[in-house]
């Protein structure tokens, strides 16, 4: 089945500007295409046009023509479209509708009135393809993110639709599970010959398996439509605010001019002599010495055990320190104990054994509130944190409560150092503090806005602003970059680095390898409740045993190093990070 857009434009009912402008795109039957673009570029809108959510669930105006298998979806119902197009949504949790795996896969068949016995047969077949038959009776609560993703795929396979649409299939998955899903999609493509569309901004991960074509959307328009080798050799991804694969970035940084003929989309082709020479000329071994930490210890976790039910330990014997101004990343797969650890540090949970010190004071027995005055916790989804309608009220909420509660206790050290202010004392009025905080967070222009009209990235900043009002010493952030494209993400992380530079300690809970590599100075890796590594990210990502145990994935930089014959992988990774940092400072 083919998909054809002809001069197609679309405008949402409540928006002034069209979200898609003059799209001309043909996707042939059996093709595998990656559709990339920043958040807000229109890539999801394009997808909704194909799967029928537009116009059936989301209203708007369109012009031009869209044909799916020769018929206009506008003349059909969403159900007729769903026969041709199967969609796997990005939120694995919400799209798991059934109470068990089998039931969820059967959902579409139930709605298609397939007889119960026949249905059980088809469900088993679909689950076989994704290798999940052993889980048929399990509930969604017993599955990992990657397993839920497989179940969703089985649910679409059972529909026998010819087009499969994947909406950010890698979101919320740990690197190893993400890799599995990409392989699974590739197998499906090879075995069934279905037309496959993948909407993603994590280009490096999708390109681990080959795609026929990449389509890049920017501000509602298609700015590139062609084979991967072409776009990787060009500079289009960067201009569209998307991240190139790290190994491609490395080759480009070495000043090697790439052409489509290099077929760089396959990392194995980097063994080419010219590329090799260029990289070797560029790379200067850094001879990493373990950075001597002279800064003051802020947080010290000593031999901590934790268990929810007193029988199974969720964390055992965890020890680590966090220093002033340090950005520490905590890595590990789902269930490794990352969120339990952040619960312990923020005082929500109490350790069963061991001690936690904050500035040399033992905090085991402190109340959540008291710990919260020192340790701020920023959730993954800002909407789960924001309690007021207006930005102003949200940010002031904690400030007012705190100023009224303990007048004179606030020191706002980080603010002082950011603004070189000498005396912010209790007489400084709330208004002034509030304005400083939103200025720091880059929200000054929005101070009178309702929060609902802010973008997702801005909401995230608002959530941090409301935490900063508590004058914390440490901030824990859960997946701070989830759902954000490269551009928003980099500017957000720069802001976090500024906060750290002012003396805050930052803990990032994440499975984003790029984030850990480029923005944290140290990583600890948890696996099955134990700490299995505590080192610089560059060293950690060069160790295959740790990568495997923690469901991480080797970086393409490491791969590049081995292809070229650089033995000290971690040093090469570190060199790349340092170079990238220098360039971003110059920029």
Partner 1 sequence: MSKFGTLYVDSDSFFHRMEPSLKLLVFLLWSVTVFMFLDLRVDIFLLVLGIILLSLSRIPFIIIRNLFIVVIIFNLINALFIFLITPDYGTILTGKTTVLCNLWHYSLTLETLFYLLTLSLKYISLMPMAMILIFTTHPSRFASSLNRVGIPYKIAYTFNIIFRYIPDIQNEFKTIAQAQAARGMSFGKDEKSFTKRVRNLFNLTIPLINSALERIDKVTNAMDLRGFGKYKTRTWYNTTKIKASDYVVLLVLIIMFGLFLSIKITDTSMFWYPL
Q: Are 163 and 195 in contact (CB under 8 A)?
A: yes
| C-beta of 55 vs 227, nearer to partner 1 | 55
| C-beta of 12 vs 282, nearer to partner 1 | 12
Q: What tokens were used for 181?
A: 């899903």
Q: Is 69 left (phi over 0), alpha (psi -120 to 50) or beta?
A: left
Query: Least distance in Å: CB of 467 to partner 1?
Result: 7
Query: Least distance in Å: CB of 158 to partner 1?
Result: 10
CA distance 397 to 387: 9
CA distance 560 to 229: 17
| C-beta of 111 vs 455, nearer to partner 1 | 111
CA distance 88 to 203: 18
Q: What tokens were used for 122?
A: 């088809």
Query: Least distance in Å: CB of 78 to partner 1?
Result: 6
CA distance 19 to 11: 5
| Bond into 429 cis (ω within 30) | no
CB crowding 175-186: b at 16 or more within 10 Å, else e: bbbbbbbbebbb
| C-beta of 113 vs 422, nearer to partner 1 | 113
| C-beta of 51 vs 574, nearer to partner 1 | 51
Q: Are 370 and 377 in contact (CB under 8 A)?
A: no
| 3-state DSSP assignment of residue 548 | helix
- Which of 201, 264, 254, 276 shows the shortest CA–CA distance to 583? 254
Query: Least distance in Å: CB of 239 to partner 1?
Result: 32
Query: Least distance in Å: CB of 69 to partner 1?
Result: 17
Q: Are 90 and 171 in contact (CB under 8 A)?
A: yes
Query: Least distance in Å: CB of 570 to partner 1?
Result: 36
Query: Least distance in Å: CB of 536 to partner 1?
Result: 29
| C-beta of 258 vs 391, nearer to partner 1 | 391
- Which of 19, 16, 20, 17 shows the shortest CA–CA distance to 8? 20
| C-beta of 82 vs 286, nearer to partner 1 | 82
Q: Are 144 and 176 in contact (CB under 8 A)?
A: no
| C-beta of 195 vs 466, nearer to partner 1 | 466
CA distance 273 to 549: 34
Query: Least distance in Å: CB of 19 to partner 1?
Result: 17
- Which of 74, 89, 66, 85 shows the shortest CA–CA distance to 1? 85
| C-beta of 114 vs 260, nearer to partner 1 | 114
Query: Least distance in Å: CB of 387 to partner 1?
Result: 4
């Amino acid at each position: 089945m083919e998909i054809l857009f002809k001069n197609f434009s679309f405008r949402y009912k409540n928006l002034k500007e069209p979200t898609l402008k003059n799209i001309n795109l043909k996707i042939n039957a059996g093709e595998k295409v990656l559709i990339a673009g920043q958040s807000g570029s229109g890539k999801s809108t394009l997808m909704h046009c194909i799967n029928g959510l537009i116009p059936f669930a989301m209203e708007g105006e369109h012009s031009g023509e869209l044909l799916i298998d020769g018929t206009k979806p506008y003349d059909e119902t969403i159900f007729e479209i769903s026969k041709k197009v199967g969609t796997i949504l990005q939120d694995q949790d919400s799209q798991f509708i059934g109470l068990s795996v089998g039931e969820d896969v059967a959902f579409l068949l139930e709605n298609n009135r397939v007889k119960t016995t026949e249905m059980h047969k088809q469900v088993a077949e679909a689950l076989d393809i994704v290798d999940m038959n052993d889980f048929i009776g399990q509930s969604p609560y017993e599955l990992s993110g990657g397993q839920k993703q497989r179940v969703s795929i089985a649910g679409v396979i059972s529909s026998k639709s010819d087009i499969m649409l994947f909406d950010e299939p890698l979101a919320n998955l740990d690197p190893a599970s993400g890799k599995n899903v990409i392989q699974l999609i590739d197998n499906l493509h090879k075995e069934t010959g279905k037309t496959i569309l993948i909407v993603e901004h994590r280009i490096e991960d999708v390109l681990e398996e080959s795609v026929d074509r990449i389509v890049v959307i920017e501000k509602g328009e298609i700015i590139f439509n062609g084979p991967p080798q072409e776009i990787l050799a060009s500079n289009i991804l960067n201009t569209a605010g998307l991240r190139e694969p790290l190994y491609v970035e490395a080759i480009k940084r070495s000043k090697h001019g790439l052409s489509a003929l290099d077929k760089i989309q396959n990392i194995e082709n980097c063994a080419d002599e010219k590329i090799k020479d260029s990289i070797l000329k560029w790379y200067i071994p850094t001879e990493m010495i373990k950075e001597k930490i002279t800064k003051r210890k802020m947080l010290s976790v000593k031999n901590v055990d934790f268990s929810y039910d007193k029988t199974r330990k969720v964390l055992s014997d965890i020890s680590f320190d966090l220093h002033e101004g340090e950005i520490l990343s905590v890595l590990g797969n789902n269930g490794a104990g990352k969120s339990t650890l952040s619960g312990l540090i923020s005082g929500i949970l109490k350790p069963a054994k061991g001690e936690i010190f904050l500035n040399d004071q033992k905090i085991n027995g402190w109340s959540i509130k008291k710990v919260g005055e020192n340790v701020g916790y920023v959730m993954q989804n800002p909407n789960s944190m924001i309690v007021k309608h207006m930005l102003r009220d949200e940010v002031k909420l904690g400030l007012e409560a705190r100023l009224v509660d303990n007048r004179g206790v606030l020191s706002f050290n980080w603010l002082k150092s950011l603004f070189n202010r000498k005396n912010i004392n209790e007489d400084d009025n709330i208004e002034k503090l509030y304005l400083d905080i939103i200025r720091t967070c880059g929200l000054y222009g929005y101070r009178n806005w309702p929060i609902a009209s802010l973008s997702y990235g801005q909401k995230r900043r608002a959530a941090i602003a409301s935490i900063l009002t508590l004058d914390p010493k440490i901030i824990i952030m859960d997946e701070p970059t989830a759902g954000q494209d490269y551009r928003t993400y980099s500017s957000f992380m720069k802001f976090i680095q500024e906060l750290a530079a002012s003396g805050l300690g930052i803990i990032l809970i994440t499975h984003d390898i790029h984030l850990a590599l480029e923005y944290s100075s140290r990583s600890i890796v948890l696996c099955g409740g134990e700490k299995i590594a505590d080192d610089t990210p560059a060293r950690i990502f060069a160790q295959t045993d740790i990568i495997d145990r923690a469901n991480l994935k080797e970086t393409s930089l490491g791969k590049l190093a081995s292809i070229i014959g650089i033995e000290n992988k971690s040093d090469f990774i570190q060199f790349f990070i340092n170079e990238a940092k220098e360039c971003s400072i110059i920029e």
